Structure 1
């Protein structure tokens, strides 16, 4: 039942591969959430992360607990906000669910489809509420949902999404001979790069999940086009996927990190919804003026921070502010999450949706590596479980 009591939030890790730092202002601003502690397993993390965790705890004026299990036993913890490396998230989410804590999970449930399945099962068994806020609440989705519900498009035939991050300094790639790096092993963490279909394409998949039925077939292509860091591993900095759902509807996306100065608003974020009666274009960066000089954008952040050349911890440079205050939808997601905890309507994007999102991404990577069309559902063995 709704109360005025605040939900205590435990922040589990400030991994540089996560968005935990972006969640902090949300918890501080919402009247029903209160950060009560930061926690991590100190004996399993490197010195830099131990230091960063302590810095955040000190800044927030809360204790730093050096054992996640000990932190989960705190009675003042109601919500666990997981911002650890992708390889740790599944076990942490399962432990938190078993402790009866509600979950706010940053993007990915786990590194493999099997790990994601375990989180879905743990949440169901514990009867707790869990949200993955990154994919179901952004500007594109908030604009697409009422359009789809209105029926003005007629029958939806398909949709396309472009979502690119204007970050990083592109440089010539002199060696294209390294084979494409697959994703079946569940290894995602690299000190100098992120797999960009995983990192940026996951947002687009979230929109396609809302527009289409369950994905039945996937074709993918991608590779390193802008950054030598990616090329030396055969990893993707840009990728495209084509999805076909069970009813034959088509979904396509392009996703990647495309370099500083390539877009006046930090990178395109737009969708085309194609219906039998009408077609609509949704642009999360509009209204805005598109006339600009690339040098103006480069001057905004030249040079990039030495410890963050790819812009993981900072937003892309832009000549104008976002078209709306909550473009990523995180504030909207937190409001819906708290309402659900109070006994309100069910969440629009749950761990089951996030598990399916990861299955689509893994199928896309396998399609790129094998240069073959993939059929879903994936076998757990084939997906690195």
Structure 2
């Protein structure tokens, strides 16, 4: 690479916006050059934190020929509009999950990036973690037999008040219009795509139970159950109201597997297995796709199916019914 790619941040709505801005500054192939946000308070503060210019004019920023790509961490409800506009301007896109509020919008975004020859990747980080690689190898080896049950739980306590304060997760994460959904739609994306990876991307049925422990407007405690044609059951758990170790449990006809990030311990039965280092993260993959002219086929396919399952789970929770997956 002759010179770093110039990258702009679009939106500081999401709590991970600073993480991706920091990655942009740290990666040798990228340079952070600008920030846009339609909320001047968020945008100017973010720009000041990283020592770059702020603008509230998205069209002007996207018209800049010196900007190669954008990281998008806007509210979820405007993902389609912002990403299609960025794609039409020829800007490569790295985005926070969820890709879009609907499958149709997710597919529209991908079609726009393909039509304009720009590279898109969605942040699905746990796909590339070492324990995920090791678990896939165990499944592929047949040691567990036919998988018939899987449970993945991820939670933090961001919704809970502490020392008289509302909770470290900002209230905008509980606004139905912009956030689209609560714990399941945000943090629950990680257990969703891991369950789809281990048990299959297309279950037959989805049911869901959502509750709000802190009462901040959207669910902060969620359980989703996926039923598969091969009779396997997947249980997806996400919460903003408890701090627990991240856990994975897989049960098969020949054995069991457990993983916890409390000590980074992976076991098949009583045997502890080594956990390899993480592979290249999504941001690094994005830079490589840009420089090598390749497409993130697997990532984009999984991002669409993630959207499909989250949309179905939200419908199941709202209606109180088991929903056929479509």
TM norm. shorter chain > 0.5: yes
Displacement of 1:286: 1.9
Displacement of 1:287: 4.5
Q: Deviations over 1:231-261 (max 9, x none)?
A: xxxx3221111112344432111111124xx
* Matching residue of 2:191: 204
* Matching residue of 1:337: 286
State yes or no: 1:242 paired with 2:241.
Answer: no
Q: 2-side partners of 1:347 and 1:152: how far apart? A: 30
Which has the larger displacement, 119-128 or 135-144? 135-144
Q: 2-side partners of 1:22 and 1:99: how far apart? A: 25
Secondary structure of the corresponding residue to residue 132 of structure 1: strand
Contact kept in structure 2, 1:140 and 1:284, CA below 8 Å? no
Name stretches of at least 5 consecutive residues in structure 2 with no aligned partner.
163-175, 266-274
Displacement of 1:170: 6.1
Of 216, 219, 223, which residue of structure 1 is paired with 2:207? 219
Secondary structure of the corresponding residue to residue 296 of structure 2: coil
Contact kept in structure 1, 2:98 and 2:189, CA below 8 Å? no
Q: Deviations over 1:161-217 (max 9, x none)?
A: 01111334369xxxxxxxxxxxxxx72449xxx611112211110101211222221
Structure 1 segments of 4 or more deviating over 6 A?
Answer: none
Of 10, 24, 27, which residue of structure 1 is paired with 2:8? 10
Displacement of 1:227: 0.9
State yes or no: 1:110 paired with 2:107.
Answer: no
Displacement of 1:115: 2.3
* Matching residue of 2:165: none
Q: 2-side partners of 1:77 and 1:285: how far apart? A: 41
Q: 1-side partners of 2:197 and 2:10: how far apart? A: 29
Q: 1-side partners of 2:54 and 2:133: how far apart? A: 36
Q: Would the alpha carbon gap of residues 94 and 352 (structure 1) be closer, same or farther in structure 2, given more than 3 Å must change?
A: farther
State yes or no: 1:34 paired with 2:55.
Answer: no
* Matching residue of 1:284: 261
Q: 2-side partners of 1:125 and 1:118: how far apart? A: 10
* Matching residue of 1:273: 250
Contact kept in structure 2, 1:132 and 1:349, CA below 8 Å? no
Displacement of 1:30: 0.9
Alignment of 1:89-100 (within 5 A): 89-100=79-90
Displacement of 1:52: 2.7
CA RMSD, Structure 1 to Structure 2 (Å): 2.9
Contact kept in structure 1, 2:157 and 2:240, CA below 8 Å? yes
Q: Deviations over 1:130-189 (max 9, x none)?
A: 111135334653443333344433333332101111334369xxxxxxxxxxxxxx7244
Q: 2-side partners of 1:236 and 1:83: how far apart? A: 21
Q: Deviations over 1:95-117 (max 9, x none)?
A: 11112221101112223333223
Q: 1-side partners of 2:133 and 2:62: how far apart? A: 34
Contact kept in structure 1, 2:98 and 2:185, CA below 8 Å? no
* Matching residue of 1:145: 136
* Matching residue of 2:172: none
Name stretches of at least 5 consecutive residues in structure 1 with no aligned partner.
172-185, 289-323, 378-385
Q: Deviations over 1:345-367 (max 9, x none)?
A: 75375333222212211211211
State yes or no: 1:57 paired with 2:54.
Answer: no
Alignment of 1:1-385 (within 5 A): 3-15=1-13, 17-40=14-37, 45=38, 49-135=39-125, 136-138=127-129, 140-169=131-160, 187-189=177-179, 195-213=182-200, 214-224=202-212, 226-230=213-217, 235-259=218-242, 263=243, 267-287=244-264, 332-343=281-292, 347=296, 349-377=298-326
Bigger strand share: 2
Secondary structure of the corresponding residue to residue 177 of structure 2: coil
Q: 2-side partners of 1:96 and 1:246: how far apart? A: 39
